[in-house]
């Protein structure tokens, strides 16, 4: 089976991830009463866990699927930054190209969860463009890491690593080395991802990124996708659509709707990271766009059935695909 052969090639791929890395912290607990101080639940904490978030979770998905990952990102000179590096090393993710900023903290997002429900999220971060010295180091590290990669992911969370200059440089270098370049986009930069291999916006990002209105039907999505292609001059776009699966739009009005493969949806946290990671590994392994999107769709269907920032692995992914096609 073609998709299974594709998965077996993941271990031979090296992907460069450029973007905003962070730590996802989870506080788990039980709710038995409402606070007498305010009409809010009182969470009795049972455990606390930490996971790689943002671009770091993209890299985590790549190594979980058997590939190798290099990261170019910026973190603070703080305790959370040290924690992030320890977690990267624990997942066999290369951290040699991280840049340290003394002006910005490492981003941490804390989610409080009770009875399998997220009650609140608390973000500690500083947004905006990095200072010139940090941007220069990021650019230099991209130049050094690019020749080692079979593909590049721009994981843009709008926190400052992916500036206009770094975006142009990264795309130009990827095209120079003739390797796939994929983007998990942010609305603010949406029309700047020019001449890429593919991007994977969700429906809301695609609509807002293009300033579109009245997008309701499959036909509307197809028209929107074609407008994105023309605007960016890209090879394709994959619009993820929740319970409707995803839509792959290629040139010459070639549109493919791929139904969701999720059996149950517990948590969509990090699902977009799984889609971009899996698809990029597949493209690095010389898959065509449709097979790359198909295997990414199966991977996303697995991780949304898990609670928290989750990943899948080659064995699990292969078993799900075999099970699907045996029916």
DSSP-assigned letter for residue 247: E
298 or 307, higher pLDDT: 298
pLDDT above 90 (res 271)? no
Instruction: Quote the pLDDT of residue 13.
Output: 98
CB count within 10 Å of CB 33 equals: 8
**pLDDT class of 242 with cuts at 50, 70, 90:** confident
Tell me the β-bridge partners of 114.
29, 117
Q: What is the pLDDT of residues 152-161, one digit of tens each?
A: 999 999 999 9
SS3 204: helix
Residues with Cβ within 8 Å of residue 271, at least 6 apart in sequence: 240, 300, 303, 304
Instruction: Quote the pLDDT of residue 190.
Output: 94
Superfamily of segment(s) 2-326: Ribokinase (3.40.1190.20)
Which strand (E) or helix (H) includes residue 128? none
**pLDDT class of 270 with cuts at 50, 70, 90:** low
Q: Is 110 exposed, middle or buried (0-12, 13-18, 19+ CB in 10 A)?
A: middle
By annotation, the residues acting in catalysis are: 273
Instruction: Quote the pLDDT of residue 310.
Output: 75
pLDDT above 70 (res 299)? yes
Write down the pTM of the prediction: 0.92
Q: What is the pLDDT of residues 156-188, one digit of tens each?
A: 999 999 999 999 999 999 999 999 999 999 999
**pLDDT class of 269 with cuts at 50, 70, 90:** low
Mean of all residue pLDDT scores within the chain: 92
**E strands present in 20-137:** 21-34, 41-54, 68-72, 74-76, 99-101, 107-114, 117-124
What residue segments make up the domains of the chain, in order of their start?
Answer: 2-326
Which strand (E) or helix (H) includes residue 267? none
pLDDT above 70 (res 268)? no
Distance (Å, rounded) from C-alpha 67 to C-alpha 10? Answer: 5
Instruction: Quote the pLDDT of residue 272.
Output: 85
Which strand (E) or helix (H) includes residue 154? strand 151-155
Q: What is the pLDDT of residues 204-225, one digit of tens each?
A: 999 999 999 889 899 999 999 9
Residue 99: what are its φ and ψ, rounded to 5°?
-115, 135
**H helical segments located in 76-202:** 79-90, 132-145, 164-176
Q: What is the pLDDT of residues 8-55, one digit of tens each?
A: 999 999 999 999 999 999 999 999 999 999 999 999 999 999 999 999
The two tokens of residue 98 are 């991280």
Name the pairing type of β-strands 68-72 and 99-101: unpaired
Instruction: Quote the pLDDT of residue 34.
Output: 95
Distance (Å, rounded) from C-alpha 306 to C-alpha 1? Answer: 26
């Amino acid at each position: 089976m073609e998709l299974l052969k594709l998965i077996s090639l993941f271990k031979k791929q090296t992907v460069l991830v450029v973007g905003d890395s962070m730590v996802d912290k989870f506080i788990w607990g039980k709710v038995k009463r409402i606070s007498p101080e305010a009409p809010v639940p009182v969470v009795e904490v049972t455990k606390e866990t930490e996971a790689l978030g943002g671009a770091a979770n993209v890299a985590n998905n790549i190594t979980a699927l058997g590939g190798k990952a290099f990261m170019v990102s910026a973190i603070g000179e703080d305790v959370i930054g040290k924690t992030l590096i320890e977690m990267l090393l624990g997942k066999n993710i290369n951290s040699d190209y991280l840049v340290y900023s003394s002006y910005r903290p490492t981003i941490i997002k804390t989610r409080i969860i009770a009875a399998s429900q997220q009650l609140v999220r608390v973000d500690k971060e500083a947004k905006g463009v990095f200072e010139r010295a940090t941007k220069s180091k990021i650019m230099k590290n991209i130049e050094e890491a690019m020749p080692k990669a079979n593909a590049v992911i721009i994981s843009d969370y709008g926190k400052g690593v992916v500036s206009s200059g770094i975006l142009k440089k990264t795309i130009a270098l990827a095209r120079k080395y003739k390797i796939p370049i994929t983007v998990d986009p942010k609305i603010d930069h949406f029309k700047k991802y020019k001449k890429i291999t593919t991007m994977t916006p969700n429906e809301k990002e695609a609509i807002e990124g293009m300033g579109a209105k009245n997008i309701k039907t499959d036909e509307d999505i197809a028209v929107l996708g074609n407008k994105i292609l023309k605007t960016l001059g890209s090879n394709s776009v994959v619009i993820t659509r929740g319970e409707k699966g995803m839509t792959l739009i290629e040139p010459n009005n070639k549109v493919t709707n791929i139904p969701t493969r999720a059996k149950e949806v517990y948590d969509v946290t990090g699902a977009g990271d799984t889609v971009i990671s899996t698809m990029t590994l597949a493209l690095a392994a010389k898959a065509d766009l449709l097979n790359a999107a198909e295997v990414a769709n199966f991977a996303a269907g697995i991780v949304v059935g898990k609670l928290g920032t989750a990943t899948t692995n080659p064995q699990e992914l292969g078993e799900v695909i075999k099970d699907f096609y045996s029916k």
